[in-house]
């Protein structure tokens, strides 16, 4: 079945450091890919998405590119802030079939940014 | 818009008790779903609904029931609570339930079963 694998955390960075969180997926066809973020004590919210190969999603300085050839969707940010401290989830959803719209999540990566 | 609301925020149950977790959305979304979040496991889909009167099972449906009598509400019922159901439960909704839809999550219900 479909699955998502993301790098284990926790990740601790200093403010203004470069961030990469790796995400790879296994899926049939061409799923949509997402990054969701969960701030402490809150529900998840969409950070960015890409719906087809070579698309780049971006939001709040974060970027991720849908790489079909490497089945990857790595999250990057050039300069992290303390306010970026959160848990980041990579996820996919099929665009066809009975399970379309259902999200399959990675296990999450906790990011802590120190001042 | 209130978005997706969940009640209660916290709940403690004893083994064997039953309860209903409430979820409502005011965005007229067709698709609603329930996930559970466990440490080191990410989120796993319990049940989902693509419209009023239509529900289906997700990855981990055992021990849970759902119904969707209105577009707005999607309650999750625990029939006989077990310690393995200790978790944080999130309700989510999306406009159409298509693969590229953004899902909107509620704030979660933290459930402890003793």
Q: Does the distance separating the beta carbons of A100 and B97 come in below 8 Å?
A: yes
Q: How does pLDDT run across B2-17, given as a tens digit for each residue?
A: 899 999 999 999 999 9
Q: Does the distance separating the beta carbons of B50 and A44 come in below 8 Å?
A: no
- What is the predicted pLDDT for the residue at A103? 96
* Tens of pLDDT, residue by residue, chain B (114 residues): 889 999 999 999 999 999 999 999 999 999 999 999 998 888 999 999 999 999 999 999 999 999 999 999 999 999 999 999 999 999 999 999 898 999 999 999 999 999
The distance of A101 to chain B (nearest Cα, Å) reads: 4
pLDDT of A104 above 90: yes
Edge-to-edge strand ranges of the sheet holding B19-25 = B4-7, B19-25, B76-78, B64-66
Instruction: Nearest by CB to A101, from B43, B90, B97: name it.
Output: B97
Per DSSP, the three-state class of B84 is helix
For the stretch A48-58, what's the b/e string if a residue is b when 16 or more beta carbons lie within 10 angstroms of its beta carbon?
bbbbeeeeebe
- What is the predicted pLDDT for the residue at A39? 95
Q: Best residue in A7, A29, A102 to probe B by mutation, most B CBs within 10 Å?
A: A102
Q: Please provide the average confidence, as pLDDT, over all residues in chain B.
A: 96
- What is the predicted pLDDT for the residue at B72? 97
B33 — alpha (psi -120 to 50), left (phi > 0) or beta? beta
Q: Does the distance separating the beta carbons of B107 and A93 come in below 8 Å?
A: no
pLDDT of A63 above 90: yes
- Distance in angstroms (rounded) separating the CA atoms of residues B108 and A30: 30
Q: How does pLDDT run across A74-103, given as a tens digit for each residue?
A: 999 999 999 999 999 999 999 888 788 899
């Amino acid at each position: 079945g479909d699955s998502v694998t993301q790098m284990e955390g926790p990740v601790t960075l200093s403010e203004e450091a470069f961030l990469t969180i790796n995400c790879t997926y296994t899926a049939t066809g061409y799923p949509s890919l997402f990054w969701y973020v969960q701030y402490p004590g809150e529900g998840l919210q969409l950070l960015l998405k890409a719906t087809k190969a070579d698309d780049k999603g971006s939001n709040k300085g974060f970027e991720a590119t849908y790489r079909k050839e490497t089945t990857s969707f790595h999250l990057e940010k050039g300069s992290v802030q303390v306010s970026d401290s959160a848990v980041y989830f990579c996820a996919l959803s099929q665009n066809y079939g009975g399970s379309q719209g259902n999200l399959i999540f990675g296990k999450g990566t906790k990011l802590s940014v120190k001042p | 818009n209130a978005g997706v609301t969940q009640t209660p925020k916290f709940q403690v149950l004893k083994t064997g008790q039953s309860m209903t977790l409430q979820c409502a959305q005011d965005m007229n979304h067709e698709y609603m779903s329930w996930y559970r979040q466990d440490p080191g496991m990410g989120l796993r889909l319990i049940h989902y609904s693509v419209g009023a009167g239509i529900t289906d099972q997700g990855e981990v449906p055992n021990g849970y029931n759902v119904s969707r009598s209105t577009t707005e509400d999607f309650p999750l019922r625990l029939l006989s609570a077990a310690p393995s159901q200790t978790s944080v439960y999130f309700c989510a909704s999306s406009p159409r339930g298509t693969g590229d839809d953004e899902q909107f999550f509620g704030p979660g219900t933290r459930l402890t079963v003793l």
